[in-house]
Amino acid sequence: MSTDTKERAVHAPQFIRGDELQIPTYKVLKQDGTTYKGATLPDLDKDTALRIYRAMVRTRVLDERMLAAQRQGRLSFYMQSTGEEATTVGFAAALDDEDMIMAQYREQGALVYRGFTLDEFMNQLFSNELDYGKGRQMPIHYGSAKLHYMTISSPLATQIPQATGYAYGQKLAGDKKCTVAVFGEGAASEGDFHAALNMASVLKTPTIFLCRNNGYAISTPASEQFAGDGIAPRALGYGMHTIRVDGNDILAVYSAMTEARCIAVEQNEPVLVEAMSYRLAAHSSSDDPSGYRSKKEEEKWRNKDPLLRMKHWLQAKNWWSDDEDAALFEADRREVLATMKEAEKRPAPVIEEMITDVYDTPPAHLKEQLEGLKAHVRLYPEAYPATSGRMNNG
């Protein structure tokens, strides 16, 4: 409350703890593909449902193959999203394709859903000359202007207040679009998270804050990340709408995000969505979860696989068969391998790209530094094989 809002007075010291407030989890779909009795079902037609499922499968396959490629030494680094596909694909499916997505780094599912091609993925992963980011960032730092997907940045939570600002601009422009910031429960400890939510609430921006609560920030379990009832109730302190959903439940994610988008765009109000899931994969290719969690715990979550859950539902609706499923996995695997082979053959960006995009045009001192560097590479061409044979003489 502000000092001029009407207060409710008491005359004994009353401390309040949040224990009695537990935000419920919205669930629609059971693991066997049936729905809970009386559950609110989203309006999801067959075409959209299959587009979602195909994106989830492709994401799963991409993650499997690229981690394998990393293990073979073909790729320097990778991050899987295994187990979280219902959240990362489902949220994107509930949006308008021109809503802005500002993700953290484990949301490749959203990009797959929007139509980022395997070729585009591979060019980024192999830092080759066709990478939109010109080979400047580590693998998985995707971005696409045409798909309204902001280029990933490693520092955690920085995209969250940016999503508040981006949405404010959409509101000013009268776009009737929203911005979604996606982040983990660990990143929600950063100051930027709190800054972002408070500003969005005060300035009334059409922002959806989607927290993927997957249980771990690298090795740190959620129980050592925060006390209290998770991330969802924090919105209440900021005077914001909030909901918690089962993040492995595609129907719950889709339905909650559809409603959240309505609130954001129609009312110009921000919304927090906490999706409960589990990071079945390691944090990254450099991590080994056996040092901090049990196989038993992983097994429990493997039995809640969001892909299987959705497949069971599709089959119950007679929209999908085992044969189609096997064929889809097989086709995606083949295509991933084929595009990978092409992408890894493409050369690195040319040396001239080192100084572009620092500013809109390279200032004199950068041109001078580039010429100095090129002169050096000419002296030792064998030490810099990626660029020495491909320099222009400017």
Considering only 32, 46, 98, 169, the residue that binds other proteins (CB under 8 A) is 169
Map the footprint of other proteins across residues 148-167, applying CB under 8 A. 150-151, 153, 155, 158, 160-167
Report the half-sphere exposure of 180 (CA within 13 A, side-chain side).
Answer: 31
**Active site annotation includes 312:** no
Please identify, using beta-carbon distances, which residue of 61 and 122 lies nearer to other proteins. 122
314 with 50: CB under 8 angstroms?
A: yes
Considering only 46, 71, 136, 300, the residue that binds other proteins (CB under 8 A) is 136
Piece of the chain touching other proteins by CB under 8 A; list 125-133, 228-236, 274-282, 311-319:
125-133
Q: Pick from 86, 65, 315: which is nearest to 323 by CA? A: 315
Q: Which residue has the tokens 């991050």?
A: 79
Query: Does 131 sit near other proteins (CB under 8 A)?
Result: yes
Q: Give long-range contacts, CB 8 A cutoff, 24+ apart: 140-148.
A: 140/77, 140/78, 140/79, 140/105, 140/108, 141/105, 142/108, 142/111, 142/116, 144/111, 144/114, 144/116, 144/120, 147/97, 147/111, 147/114, 147/115, 147/116, 148/97, 148/98, 148/99, 148/100, 148/101, 148/114
Map the footprint of other proteins across residues 196-215, applying CB under 8 A. 196, 198-199, 202-203
48 with 273: CB under 8 angstroms?
A: no
Please identify, using beta-carbon distances, which residue of 276 and 354 lies nearer to other proteins. 354
The C-alpha atoms of residue 353 and residue 355 are separated, in whole angstroms, by 5
Query: Does 357 sit near other proteins (CB under 8 A)?
Result: yes
Catalytic residue among 60, 212, 244, 279: 279
CB of 179 to other proteins, least distance (A): 8
128 with 136: CB under 8 angstroms?
A: no
CB of 79 to other proteins, least distance (A): 17
Considering only 179, 225, 242, 248, the residue that binds other proteins (CB under 8 A) is 179
Considering only 31, 35, 137, 258, the residue that binds other proteins (CB under 8 A) is 137
Query: Does 270 sit near other proteins (CB under 8 A)?
Result: no
3-state helix vs strand vs coil in the chain, percent to 5:
45, 10, 45
Piece of the chain touching other proteins by CB under 8 A; list 21-29, 310-318, 325-333, 354-362:
354-362
Report the half-sphere exposure of 363 (CA within 13 A, side-chain side).
Answer: 3
Q: Which sequence positions are flagged as catalytic?
A: 279, 283, 292
Where along the sequence are the contacts to other proteins (CB under 8 A)? 100, 102, 131-134, 136-137, 141, 143-145, 150-151, 153, 155, 158, 160-170, 172-173, 179, 191-192, 194-196, 198-199, 202-203, 356-360, 363-365
